[in-house]
């Protein structure tokens, strides 16, 4: 397995080079801007409601959209169809042991199923759950059994422009204070999310994880890692934490998992497949959770996953030990972030995992947060480019009891970079269209809901423009680009 791929350039310009080749392709369609406007209106300006038929580059998420390797696809042919005792499951167990150093694995149908089981088992009414930052489904699954999330990030975490290498760190003093205030009996778990999704794919450091572990040990509180993006977090530890400069990703992953009591993950992210899992070395934790897997997911040797997915997951997990694999998405993100940053476009720095995050509050300072700047920017960018990003801001939040919006800490347009999916020329197109939108940002206005579901409204909610700004954007595009798509 390759370690630390380094390519140096003769000409001065530094750019990422794909260390894989394309062998299966999917035709893409770039429809004209007038049609993109019509489609955006039909989808209620919600990028979740677009069909990929109308999307050119799908940067909604990396979840379930990473490209599989030839070895993963090949492994699916060897799947052992069996309700119980499948050899595919044994191969997955071996991979989990090798990659995470954990003996027990409970398969589940996806990451949120793992969250459902872990938090149902651990959280009681009035419990608090300290963490570096929440993820949407995590928060919901902690609140359902009556718990409250407590985000105890450091002062740097929410600064969009920063040079802090580990914005995903927990503030150790705040963690101690939370435990002192609520008492360890009301803190069932401490949660660390690898490559913290909602604050821009930002990693935590090994030093911080070790300190969190020490505090957990003092109070007898189990430490859980959300390992959905653990490969990328391990890569950033190697890149940014001097102690690990020459350590392999394999060893970094083993140390990270060794510091936790249990991990759970979405395989849609970590292993470029489907499904998810909960892993531990502690038989008591395994026993505490396993009955719920049988009840809600399926028998313990498949847990809601197909055996084909289980085979591909085993191979995909081993690929996270390969730096070529886990650095691919971060290196493309870095390229995009640095290109946009150089043009003065407000993007989250330093570049993280998962995607490039554009700060919509700075991009559109004239759009009030109650008119959803991140949602408006996502809609405007789809109209301008055919590229689908995701709103991560107040639309992804909820309402207060008095009916007003609970305004999000950050208003972000996330442009996800699924692993091994896009070419560098496609990334350059994204940058070009975003630069044009930045030049024309004054045209973009706000959105308002015209259909708003009560739960996780960002998935199915529909909105409309508060003024005819989308039409004006199309007119300006035609003036500037002529008959271009």
Ligand X SMILES: Cc1ncc(COP(=O)(O)O)c(C=O)c1O
The site for ligand X, by CB under 6 A, has a size of: 14
Residue entry with tokens 């498949």: 302
Q: Name which of 234 and 431 has its Cβ closer to ligand X.
A: 234
CB of 224 to ligand X, least distance (A): 11
Of residues 136, 137, 247, 466, which has the active-site annotation? Answer: 136
Beta-sheet strands, E only, within 52-193: 57-58, 104-108, 128-131, 148-151, 190-193
Please identify which residue in 112, 134, 308, 433 interacts with ligand X, judged by CB under 6 A: 112
111 is a site residue for ligand X (CB under 6 A): yes
160 is a site residue for ligand X (CB under 6 A): no
CB of 342 to ligand X, least distance (A): 29
Beta-sheet strands, E only, within 96-170: 104-108, 128-131, 148-151
226 is a site residue for ligand X (CB under 6 A): yes
58 is a site residue for ligand X (CB under 6 A): no
186-205 residues in contact with ligand X (CB under 6 A) are: 193, 197
Which tokens belong to 86? 């499948």
Of residues 104, 122, 133, 135, which has the active-site annotation? Answer: 135
Distances (CA, A) of 123 to 185, 210, 226, 261, 272: 11, 24, 16, 16, 30
Q: How far apart are CA 73 and CA 480, in angstroms?
A: 44
Which tokens belong to 478? 């035609």
Q: Stretches 134-142, 183-191, 314-322, 426-434: which one binds ligand X (CB under 6 A)?
A: 134-142
Q: How far apart are CA 325 and CA 304, in angstroms?
A: 27
Please identify which residue in 202, 208, 266, 339 interacts with ligand X, judged by CB under 6 A: 266
Asked whether 265 and 111 are in contact (CB, 8 A), the reply is yes
**Catalytic status, residue 135:** yes
Cα dihedral across residues 380, 383, 385, 391: positive or negative: positive
**Catalytic status, residue 269:** yes
Residue entry with tokens 């639309």: 395
268 is a site residue for ligand X (CB under 6 A): yes
Please identify which residue in 56, 104, 135, 302 interacts with ligand X, judged by CB under 6 A: 135
Q: Name which of 262 and 465 has its Cβ closer to ligand X.
A: 262
Question: HEC string of 41-77?
Answer: HHCCCCHHHCCHHHCCEECCCCCCCCCCCHHHHHHHC
CB of 62 to ligand X, least distance (A): 8
Q: Name which of 135 and 382 has its Cβ closer to ligand X.
A: 135
* Strands of the 190-193 sheet, one edge to the other: 104-108, 276-280, 262-266, 223-226, 190-193, 128-131, 148-151
Of residues 191, 250, 269, 419, which has the active-site annotation? Answer: 269
CB of 482 to ligand X, least distance (A): 39
- Greatest CA separation for the chain: 66
269-298 residues in contact with ligand X (CB under 6 A) are: 276
State the binding string over 8-47 for ligand X (x if CB under 6 A, else -). ----------------------------------------
Residues designated as active site: 83, 135-136, 226, 269, 392, 458
- Chain contacts with ligand X (rule: CB under 6 A): 63, 110-112, 135, 137-138, 193, 197, 226, 228, 266, 268, 276
């Amino acid at each position: 397995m390759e370690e630390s791929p380094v390519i140096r350039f003769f000409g001065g310009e530094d750019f990422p080079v794909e260390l894989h080749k394309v062998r299966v392709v999917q035709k893409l369609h770039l429809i004209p801007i007038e049609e993109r406007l019509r489609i955006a209106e039909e989808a209620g300006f919600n990028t979740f409601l677009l069909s990929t038929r109308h999307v050119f580059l799908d940067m909604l998420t990396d979840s379930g959209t990473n490209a599989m390797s030839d070895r993963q696809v090949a492994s699916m042919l060897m799947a052992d169809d069996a309700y119980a005792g499948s050899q595919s499951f044994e191969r997955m167990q071996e991979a989990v042991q090798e990659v995470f150093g954990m003996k027990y694995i409970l398969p589940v149908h996806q990451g949120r199923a793992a969250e459902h089981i872990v938090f149902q088992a651990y959280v009681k009414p009035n419990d608090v759950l300290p963490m570096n930052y929440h993820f949407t489904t995590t928060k919901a699954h902690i609140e359902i059994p009556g718990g409250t999330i407590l985000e105890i990030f450091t002062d740097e975490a929410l600064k969009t422009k920063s040079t802090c290498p580990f914005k995903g760190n927990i503030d150790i003093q705040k963690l101690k204070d939370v435990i002192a205030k609520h008492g360890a009996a009301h803190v069932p778990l401490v949660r660390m999310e690898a490559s913290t999704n909602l604050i821009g794919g930002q990693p935590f450091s090994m030093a911080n994880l070790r300190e969190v572990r020490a505090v957990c040990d003092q109070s007898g509180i189990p430490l859980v890692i959300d390992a959905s993006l653990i490969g990328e977090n391990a890569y950033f530890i190697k890149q940014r934490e001097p102690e690990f400069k020459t350590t392999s990703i394999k060893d970094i992953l083993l140390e990270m998992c060794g510091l936790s009591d249990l991990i759970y993950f979405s395989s849609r992210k970590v292993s470029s497949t489907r499904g998810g899992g909960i892993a531990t070395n502690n038989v008591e934790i395994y026993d505490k959770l396993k009955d719920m897997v049988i009840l809600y997911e399926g028998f313990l040797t498949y847990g809601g996953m197909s055996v084909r997915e289980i085979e591909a997951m085993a191979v995909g997990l081993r690929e996270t030990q390969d730096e070529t694999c886990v650095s691919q998405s971060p290196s493309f993100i870095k390229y995009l972030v640095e290109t946009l940053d150089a043009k003065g476009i407000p993007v989250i720095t330093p570049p993280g995992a998962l995607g490039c995050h554009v700060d919509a509050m700075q991009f559109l300072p004239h759009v009030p947060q109650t008119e959803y700047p991140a949602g408006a920017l996502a809609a405007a960018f789809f109209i301008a480019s055919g590229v689908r990003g995701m709103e991560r801001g107040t639309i992804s939040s909820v309402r207060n009891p008095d009916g007003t919006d609970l305004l999000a800490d950050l208003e972000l347009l996330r442009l996800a970079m699924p692993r091994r999916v896009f070419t560098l020329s496609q990334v350059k197109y994204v940058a070009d269209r975003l630069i044009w939108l930045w030049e024309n940002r004054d045209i973009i206005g706000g959105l308002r809901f015209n259909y708003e579901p009560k739960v996780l409204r960002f998935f199915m909610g529909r909105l409309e423009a508060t003024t005819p700004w989308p039409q004006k954007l199309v007119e300006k595009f035609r003036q500037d680009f002529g008959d271009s798509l």
